[in-house]
Amino acid sequence: MKEKLAVVAFGGNALLRGNEAGTIEDQEKNTYDTCIKVLELIKQGYNIIITHGNGPQVGNILLRNEAGYNQFKIPKMPLDICVADSQGGIGYMIERQMLNVLNDFNMKRNVITIITEVLVDINDPAFQNPNKPVGTFYLKEESELLAKSNNWIFKEDPRKRGWRRVVPSPKPKDIFNKKLIRDLARKGNIVIAVGGGGVPVYRHENSYLEAIEAVIDKDLASALLAKDIKADAFFIITDVPKVYINFNTKNQKALDRISVEEAKQYHHEGHFTAGSMGPKILAALDFVSKSGKEAIITEASQLQYENCGTRIYKD
């Protein structure tokens, strides 16, 4: 059987759950558990590329930035370096735990992490409207103090879990080293790439690359990678088994298999909020519309079932 290629986008909850302190012990346990569940895709005949978010982690790195400067006058690092730091740290954690899982299940695969840059447009309107949440949740009063002292912008979480800092989130235009990522995965290696949406850079007219202060949405960057390397499927791993309309109401309804047009209609009706399921739906739509292949949104424990999650297909 010819092996298929899948891009698997880990949500933040794959590493850090909302009710946890975020210790390394918490994150390693969660990562190990998620990697076990991802093995189901390998059993189903997929070669896999793992991408991941970094919202909580990069937010914590930024806080350490501020604390180090305020207490010890350690120079602050820009947001792109913080994103790269999170890519390296999270990639290492996924890589090591995946190797542990492979060993525990007597499977042999190489695992490699690639620090990934992603091209963005300096004129993207997102720079005028920051909306990408990073870091932990705060009470409204705490967020107001932090906003005043650091010149940060905060918005309330759509699920009413608190207030989070938001930063610009430009659309990804191109993934660096995408052919290398594809070729390594096609040969059976498990590749970890596009961490946190990738490190955002833009290209000057003379081709000079410059970093930009932003965080790219990891689902949109993952969808672009999946499309460009002609992946056979795109899995978005989140904290619910399926996508819902009328979420958290008495009329809540799980969606099984829906067309692109149905997904667009539900999105237009406002069922998927910008700070939660909205970016996942848009990323899935982008991949399916341009590739003709399926996108699947589900929770990691559901991967053992071949028809798991909400599956979006092209009409």
Q: What is the pLDDT of residue 222?
A: 98
CATH (residue range 4-122+172-313): 3.40.1160.10
pTM given for the model: 0.92
- Per residue in 122-158, pLDDT tens? 999 999 999 888 878 899 999 999 899 888 899 998 8
| Tens of pLDDT, residues 73-90 | 999 899 999 999 999 999
pLDDT tens for residues 52-68?
998 888 888 988 988 89
Nearest to 213 by CA among 260, 153, 162: 153
Delimit the domains of the chain by residue range.
Answer: 4-122+172-313
Cα gap 260→287, rounded to integer Å: 10
CA atoms of 273 and 129, how far apart (whole Å): 16
Is the pLDDT higher at 135 or at 114?
A: 114
C-alpha distances in Å from residue 64, one per residue of 61, 71, 75, 77, 126: 5, 10, 11, 10, 26
Taking residue 99's Cβ as centre, other Cβ atoms within 10 Å add up to 15
pLDDT value of position 186? 97
User: Is 162 known to be catalytic?
Assistant: no
Catalytic residue at 13? Answer: yes
Please identify which of the residues 30, 54, 132, 197 carries the catalytic annotation.
132
Catalytic pick among 12, 53, 55, 196: 12
Of 10-14, 265-269, 283-287, the least confident: 10-14
Tokens of 104: 């525990």
| Given 178, 218, 242, 293, the catalytic residue | 218
Percent of the chain surpassing pLDDT 70: 99
Q: Which of 47, 280, 293, 309 is catalytic?
A: 280
Q: Is 132 one of the catalytic residues?
A: yes
Residue of 13, 30, 47, 60 marked active site: 13
Q: What is the mean pLDDT of residues 105-116?
A: 97
1 pLDDT more than 60: no
- Polymer length of the chain: 315
3-state secondary structure at position 311: strand
Please give the average per-residue pLDDT across 204-228, as a whole number.
96
Q: Give the rounded percent of residues in the chain with a pLDDT score beyond 90.
A: 81
What would the mean pLDDT of 14-21 be, rounded to a whole number? Answer: 79
